Amino acid sequence: MSNTSLPVSARPATWRGLSSYLGLLGALLAMVVLFSFLSDHFLSLNTFSTIANQIPDLMVMSVGMTFVLIIAGIDLSVGSVLALSAAVVSVTYLNLHWSPWLAAIAGIVVATAIGSLTGLIAVIWRIPTFIVSLGMLEIARGSAYQLTDSRTAYIGSSFDFLADPIAFGISPSFVIAVLVILVGHLVLTRTIFGRHLIGIGTNEEAVRLSGINPAPYKVVVFALMGALAGLASLFQVARLEAADPNGGVGMELQVIAAVVIGGTSLMGGRGSVICTFLGALIISVLAAGLAQIGASEPTKRVITGLVIVVAVVLDTYRSQRQKT
C-alpha cells in the first residue's frame, strides 16, 4: 500500500494552508521584533495583555465577516449594528430595569434580527449585499442615536465581569473570542454547512444545480454576522462601562481589513478563520506599535492602509500562481 493515499489534489491545498499560516505568523513575528527595537516598552506582558483585551470585539466580528466574504458577500453595517446592540442593552438595563443577562440577550437578538433582515432583503430581491448593508448601516446608526438620545449611556460595572482580567492580565472577553474562533474554524472546515458555504462562494449556480438552495445559507450567514456584532457590543460595553452611539464607527473597515489580510478572497470561495485571527492580531499589533513609537493618527492610517493594499496584492498574485 503506497503512502500516497491522500489525494494528489488535497496535498497542495494542505501545503497552501500551512504556508498561509506560516506567512502570517512570520509577518506578525517580524512586526513584534521591529517594534521591540523601536520602543523600549513594547515587548512586555502589559503591552500584549492590553492588545488581547482590546481586540475581542474585532476578533468575533472578523469570524462573521470571514463567513460573509466566503459566500461572496459583504456587510458594511457591522459597526453600526454593534452600536445599536449596545444602545438596546443600555435602554433595557437602565430604563426598563432588566437584569444584565436579559439586557445582553436583547442586544444580541436585535443585532441578529438586523443581520437576518440584511440577508433576506439581499436574497429575496437579489440586491447586492454591498447596497443592502450600506442602507442598514444608516438605519442601525440612526436607531442607536434615537435610543440613546445621541448621548453616551453610562451603564456602570454590571458587565465588568467580561473585562476584568482573570489570569496573566487576560479578560474573559478574550477567552470567549478565542472559543468563537475555534468554533468558527471547526464549522468551516469540518461540517457540511461549511463546505456548502465554500461551494456557494465558488460557484453558486453549480450548488443550486446540485439540488442545494443557497438562499437559507446566505440568510443564516448574515444572521450569524449580526449575532457576533451583538456579542462584540457586550465586550465593548464591558470595557467602556458605557454604550456609546458613536461606538463602532469605522469598525467595518477594521474587520474587513483583518479578514483580507488573513487571505480570505473578496470574490468568495476561499477563507480561513485561523488566518483571520492572525490578520486581526497583525492589525492590532501594528496599531499598538505605531502608538508606542509616537506615530501621528494620519501616519497610522496611511501605514495601515498600505499594509492592507500589500496584503490584497500578494493574495491576488498567489491566486494567479495557483491557477497556473
The reply to whether 155 falls in a domain is yes
Model confidence at 128: pLDDT above 90: yes
The reply to whether 26 falls in a domain is no
The reply to whether 271 falls in a domain is yes
- Specify which residues 85 forms β-bridges with: none
The reply to whether 2 falls in a domain is no
Cα-trace Rg, the chain: 20
Q: Tell me the per-residue pLDDT of 215-273, one tens digit each, with 9 for 90 and over.
A: 999 999 999 999 999 999 999 999 999 999 999 999 999 999 999 999 898 889 999 99
Provide DSSP, 264-295: --TTSS---HHHHHHHHHHHHHHHHHHHHTT-
Model confidence at 195: pLDDT above 80: yes
Q: What's the predicted TM-score (pTM) here?
A: 0.93
Measured from the Cβ of residue 243, the count of other Cβ atoms closer than 10 Å reads: 29
The reply to whether 81 falls in a domain is yes
**What's the domain range around 126?**
42-323
Residue 17 confidence (pLDDT): 62
Query: Is the model more confident about 71 or about 15?
Result: 71
The reply to whether 46 falls in a domain is yes
The reply to whether 29 falls in a domain is no
Residue 233 confidence (pLDDT): 98
The reply to whether 31 falls in a domain is no
How many folded domains does the chain comprise?
Answer: 1
CB 277, CB 264: distance < 8 Å = no
Distance of alpha carbon 148 from alpha carbon 242, whole angstroms: 11
Q: Tell me the per-residue pLDDT of 138-171, one tens digit each, with 9 for 90 and over.
A: 999 999 999 999 999 999 999 999 999 998 899 9
Residue 1 confidence class, pLDDT cut points 50, 70, 90: very low
- Secondary structure class of 157 (helix, strand, coil): coil
Which cell is 136 given?
442598514
CATH of the domain at 54: 1.10.3470
